[in-house]
Chain A
Amino acid sequence: MQRLIFAFIAGGLFGSGLFISGMTDTTKVQGWLDVFGDWDPTLAFVMGGAIIPMAIAWLFVPGRKPLVGGDFPTPPKPEIGRDLIIGSTLFGFGWGLAGLCPGPSIASLSYGGIGHWVFVAAMIAGMIVAPSLRVTLDRAVPAE
């Protein structure tokens, strides 16, 4: 139960932060990416603001256990593989197209209108086909 309460608090902070920061406004995100147009630096303030508490949190991780039990996540292997590059590029392209990434697309469902529901549905469809696409890619271009 404790685990669920903390998950709700974390999700709530995330969602309200996305709302307050303006990151669910697609024009602000596209404005950040639009370096050749009317560039909007707001996203850098959001990123910077988010990284501060997160960096402090990481300092408490070594040698400790999470509050509700279990273990902290082990650091991922520091490999920069094919999937990371291809995936980030595809994701970035979609991000620029619509001005939405996964977090804000969910935070804005209650007020963004039908377009946001369609976006989330398409995103979920993409997540469903991703594993089989990876198998296809593995056959064509074997990962190192």
Chain B
Amino acid sequence: MMNSIPIDWIWGLIGGLLIGTGGAVYLLANGRIMGASGILGGLVDRSGWHSWKERSVFLLGVFLLPIPLYPMYRAVDTHITSNWLVIIAAGLLVGIGTRFANGCTSGHGVCGISRFSLRGIVATVFYILAGGIAVVIFRHMLGVV
């Protein structure tokens, strides 16, 4: 019976619920928006230095908690490209873009859409479109990724 729904979708849903619960805790307990790029970016450019402890501890949680979960997952391989140029270009684009847009998948996507924020919805439409175009160009046309 379970064969009708791919197991990856179920894991996706469970993981998604955990992500959203994390966002709910950060909002209701700390009064903050759980946006990964904003939390990190505020440390990088010091605009959020007044709350550096809270930000660092959050990021530490993101980094550490997957570790005890390794055994329950079937593959820890992230299949990241071995093309350094692609990795560096992508990282730069993500860093610059998320600071310009003031948010990424978690801030605009999860936290924004859930409060029906027009900014969050528009941002999400644009980054998904741009991501789709990048895959078309670099996978199907150039065969790089």
Contacts and interface: CB of A to CB of B under 8 A. Distances in A.
Nearest to A119: B91
Contacts of B126: 84-85, 88-89, 92
Contact of A92 (B16, B57, B128): B128
A55 B24 CA distance: 8
Interface SS, B side: helix
A109 to B, nearest CB: 6
A8 B87 contact: no
Contacts of A68: 29-31
A140 interface: no
Interface string A46-74: 11111111111110110001111111110
Interface in A30-50: 30, 33-37, 40-43, 45-50
A71 B65 CA distance: 28
Interface in A10-26: 10-26
A92 B80 contact: no
A143 to B, nearest CB: 11
Interface string B95-118: 111111110111011110111011
B45 A7 contact: no
Interface of B: 6, 8-34, 36-37, 40-41, 44-45, 53-55, 57-67, 69-70, 72-73, 75-82, 84, 86-102, 104-106, 108-111, 113-115, 117-119, 122-124, 126-136, 138-140, 145
30 contacts: A9-B22, A13-B18, A14-B18, A14-B22, A19-B15, A20-B15, A21-B12, A21-B19, A26-B79, A34-B132, A34-B139, A47-B16, A48-B13, A49-B13, A57-B23, A57-B24, A57-B27, A66-B29, A73-B32, A83-B102, A90-B96, A91-B100, A93-B93, A93-B131, A98-B81, A101-B98, A105-B94, A110-B64, A115-B81, A122-B95
Interface of A: 2-4, 6-28, 30, 33-37, 40-43, 45-58, 60-61, 65-73, 75-76, 78-80, 83-103, 105-113, 115-116, 118-131, 133-134
